[in-house]
Amino acid sequence: MNVVGLSVLLVLVGYLLGAIPVGLLVARIVGVDPRQAGSRRTGATNVLRTVGAGGAAIVLILDVAKGSAAVLIVEAAFASTGATGAWIAAAAGVAAVIGHIRSIFIGFGGGRGVATAAGALLAISPWSIPILAPLVLVVIWRTRYVSMGSICGALAAPIVTAGLALSGAATAASIAFAVAAGALVIWSHADNITRLRTGTERRLGEKAPAGGHG
């Protein structure tokens, strides 16, 4: 297979990995469908509200792993060709985030893409996550809004990655990934942003009523 064909295939694999609806699969073990409660999303935050901390932890870990795997598969495939696959790895990471947000397996629904984006960024620019994680956690701790922390992280990711690139600790491809993935994460939080503005956003720890929209 030529490089172009390999690249297209690997980006498609990235999308399909991201599209695996981990949150739905985990929640169904206990007989819950997160799409029918809370934010109706399949990410770890809604699983926390609808299933509990244990299920949410599993979903968080696996969603991070999806993003990392999408990138690492590309790097492994290109290592065998002797070519650099940094930009294809970034594209596969973005594809994984898109897959998580708009999964072909569940009618193009999904989560917000935060954990999957973090996993891909961890593989592309490892030093970005230790810098971004405290910022996100502090924002969540101070506001008790997971969405606020996620949005702040998405906005800060390109800045942090660009700063690391200036010191040689990140690449142009990683900056491009951070910009694209950050934009996708913010876009997926459009309804949260509306609720934050109106003061109706649900805080961390508040249970999701069945059939709710919070």
Per residue in 95-154, pLDDT (tens digit) is 999 999 999 999 999 999 999 999 999 999 999 999 999 999 999 999 999 999 999 999
CA distances (Å), 73 to each of 125, 137, 165, in order?
A: 15, 29, 23
Cβ atoms of 96 and 120 within 8 Å: the answer is: yes
Question: CA-CA distance, 71 to 94, in Å (whole number)?
Answer: 9
Which residues on neighbouring strands pair with residue 37, listed in sequence order?
A: 210
Checking if the pLDDT of 71 tops 80, the result is yes
Cβ atoms of 175 and 127 within 8 Å: the answer is: no
**DSSP assigned state of 208:** P
pTM, two decimals, is: 0.92
Give the length of the chain. Answer: 214
Which residues on neighbouring strands pair with residue 210, listed in sequence order?
A: 37
Q: How do the domains of the chain map onto residue ranges?
A: 3-198
Looking at residues 63-88, what average pLDDT do you find? Answer: 90
Mean pLDDT, the chain, whole residue set: 93
Cβ atoms of 6 and 86 within 8 Å: the answer is: no
